[in-house]
Chains A and B, each alone.
Chain A
Amino acid sequence: MMISRKGKMVLFVLLLSVVFVSGCSTVPKPGPDSQPAMRQQADLVPEGTRLDVEVYDPLEGFNRGTYRFNYYFDKFLFLPIVSVYKFILPDYVEDRVSNFIDNVYEFNNFTNNLLQLKFKQTGITLARFAVNSTVGVAGLWDPATKWGMHRQTEDFGQTLGHYGVGHGPYIVLPVLGPSNLRDTTGLVTDAVAFSVAGPPAWVDDDDVTLAFTALTAVDRRKRIPFRYYGSGSPFEYEQIRMLYTKKRELDIAD
C-alpha cells in the first residue's frame, strides 16, 4: 500500500508539472504582422447564438495540457500494457474477466438506481447480480442479459443530474479522460461508496482490492476502441468535449 501511495504521488507531481509547463494561455498569440482571417465566426454565426460545441470550459488551457498528458500516457504506458494483457490471455478469458468486473460494479448501478427511485431498474440490477453470481459462476458469464435483463448502468454523476445538478465546468481527468465537475464529484462519490460499503469492504483485503482495481483499469481501456488522434481531426478535443456532454445529457434523461 505504501508503494502504491508513493507511486500515486509521483504520478500526481508529474502530471501537475505537465499541466503547468503547458501553461494556461488558450488564445492564439499574434505576432507583429498578424492579420485577421478572411472567414470569421462573427460573420458566420448570428450574434448571441450559443452553440453546443461551446461547452463551458474555463479550465481549457489546463484541460488541453491534461489531454496531451493522456495522449502520451496512453501511447507509452496504457496501451502497451493492454497489448501485453491481450497477448497473454485468450479472448475467451478476457471476456470472462470483463463479465466478472461488470458484475462486481453492479453495486454502483444498484445504489444509483435506488437513489433515483427507479425501482424497476433497481430490481433488474439486483436480479442480474443474483443470477450472474450464481448461474453465471461468480459473474464470469452473463446469462441475465440472454434472459432479457439488460444492464441498467447508472452512476452518481447521473444521479446528481437526475436531481437537477448542472454539469459545471468541463474537466479532462488524468488517465480517465473527459468529465466535468458534476461527473467528477459523482466518480469520487461512487468510488468511496464502492470501497467503504461495496465489494472491497466485503472482501476486506487491500492486496485483492489493488489487484482488482488494476485489472479493472486494463479491462476498461481494452474495451474502449478510442485512440488519441485516431479520428484524424485537429478538432478532436472539441468533438470529444461536445459528444461527452451530449452523451451524458442523454444518459441522465433516460
Chain B
Amino acid sequence: MRRWSAIILLSLLLGFPAAVIAADKPYFYPYVNPLEATVMELPSYYHADIPDKVPTKTFSLTVFPDREIPKVFWYEDGLDFSLVYQKEKAPLVFIIAGTGARFNSPKMLNMQKALYQAGYHVISITSPTHMHFIVNASSTMTPGNLYEDAKDVYKVMQLAMDKVKKNIEVSSFHLTGYSLGGIQAAFVSMLDEEKKIFDFERVLLINPPVNLYTSVNILDSMLTENIPGGINNIDSWMDEVMKRLAAAEKKMGYFELSGEYIYKAYKRFPPREDFLASLVGVAFRTDSSNMVFAADVMKGGGFITPTDVTMTNSTALTPFYIVGNRTSFKDYFEDHFVPYFRAKDPSLTEEKMIKMLSLRNIEPYLRSAEKIGLLHNEDDIILAPGEIDYLEELFGSRAKIFPTGGHCGNMNHQDVVDFMVNFFAGQDG
C-alpha cells in the first residue's frame, strides 16, 4: 500500500495550491470512496502544516548478538531505528509502524515531523512484520502473535532508549502506532503496566484492526476477488495496468514517472472500484509474502523453502517469490503460525489463537486504561461490519472517529494531526 500511495501521493502535490485550513472549519475529506481515500494520497491543500526537515539521527541495534544471520540476507546488519530530537528536555513518543513498513516510511516521517513541531522527541520502530525486524529483532521469528511481538517491540524500545539516552533529556514517555502498529501499541502498553519501564503517560491507537485475523482476510480477499481468474492471472492484470498507462501516455502525449503525471492520468482516467481494491490487495500480498519468506528462512525452512539448504547472495529466489505471492495470510496462519505456537503450548487451537489476536481479548484493560485513546475512521476498509461501533462503545469519550479517510488515508490531514498532537498534550478533541 505504502509504495503505491507514495508514488500516487507525490503526484497530487502540484495540483493544489498550498494553503492552511482555518481551524474552526468542519472536517472535510476530498475522497468519499474509502478505497480512493486509502490508495490515493491527500491533496497538499489539506496537508497539515508541518516542517520539511526535522533533526533526525539513525541508529542500528544488535538485538541478538549471537544470532547468525543467514547469508541470503547478506544486506541485513542490525535493526535500524530513528530518533527525532529536541535540544531541550522534552516528552518522547514511540511510534510503531504499520504492516510491512519501516521506521522511515512516508507515514512515519509525517508523524515524526508533526510531533517534533509540537515539541516531542520521537523514536520510530519498524513493524515486527517487516523482514528487517524479523531477521534482526524477532525472538519467535514468527510475526503476528501480538503478545510475543509486543515483548520484542518493548525490548527494542529499551535498547533504543539506552542507545540515545546520552543525546536527549526525556521528561515522560508516550506511545502510538498506526494500522497493525496501532493494535500492537495496545499490547505493548499492557505489557508496560506490568514492567513499568516507561510508564507511558498517553497511548494513541491509530486505525487499528479489532481482530487481526478478520482484517488480514479482508485485505486478502481484495486480491482474490478483484483479479479475474485469481492470483495465477496476476500477469494479465499487470499487463492491463501497463496497457492503461500506455493508453494514458498516448492520449496525453508524454509519459514521466512523477506524481504529477500519475495524478493527471488519474483525473482523466478514473480507475474502477475493483481496480482500486485489487491494488490494495496486491500491495498487501506483496508485504505478506516478504514476511512469510523471511519468517520461513529464519526458522530453517519447510513452509515455502526447503529445510536444511544453504542460500547465498547469488541464489535465485524466483521460485520462492512465486510461491510467496500465492500464499495468503490464511495459509501462513494455518500451516506455519499455529503449528509453531501449538508446538510450544498444545492447548492452543486455531480458534483460540484467532480470538487471542484481538482487542476484544484485552477488553477489560482497554476499558479501564484512561491513558489509551483511539483515532479511527468510520469508513476504514480493514474493519468488518459492526467493528467501528464496538470500538466507539469500548473507548467512549476517548475515541475520535472521523467520518471519512479510509484506512490511514487522512493521517496527514490538518484536523487529524491536530487531534493527534493535542492528545499527547493531554487536551482531548
Contacts and interface: CB of A to CB of B under 8 A. Distances in A.
A71 B77 CA distance: 14
Contacts of B286: 233
Contact of A238 (B253, B306, B318, B335): B318
Contact of A28 (B232, B242, B246, B310): B310
B238 interface: yes
Contact of B314 (A37, A46, A64, A228): A64
A49 B290 CA distance: 23
B102 A232 contact: yes
A31 B308 contact: yes
Given A52-B238, A233-B286, A254-B255, A37 B315 contact: no
Contacts of B301: 37
Interface residues of A, number: 52
A253 B250 CA distance: 10
Contacts of B100: 232
Nearest to B255: A254
A238 B327 CA distance: 17
Nearest to A38: B303
A22 interface: yes
B173 interface: no
Task: Among A152, A246, A249, find the residue whose CB has the most chain B CB atoms closer than 10 A.
Answer: A246
B264 to A, nearest CB: 12
A211 interface: no
B340 interface: no
Interface stretch (B68-76, B196-204, B343-351, B402-410): B68-76
Contacts of A36: 306
Contacts of A150: 253-254, 256
Interface stretch (A53-61, A130-138, A195-203, A212-220): A53-61
A26 B321 contact: no
Nearest to A251: B255
Given A49-B232, A60-B314, 20 more contacts: A23-B314, A26-B316, A31-B308, A33-B308, A37-B306, A39-B335, A41-B322, A45-B232, A51-B322, A64-B316, A65-B314, A232-B131, A233-B131, A234-B293, A234-B297, A234-B317, A235-B293, A250-B242, A250-B246, A254-B249
Which 8 residue pairs across A and B have the least CB separation, nearest first? A150-B254, A28-B309, A31-B308, A26-B316, A29-B310, A34-B308, A235-B321, A64-B314
13 contacts: A22-B312, A26-B315, A27-B315, A30-B308, A37-B302, A39-B331, A150-B253, A228-B75, A231-B3, A233-B290, A235-B321, A246-B238, A254-B249
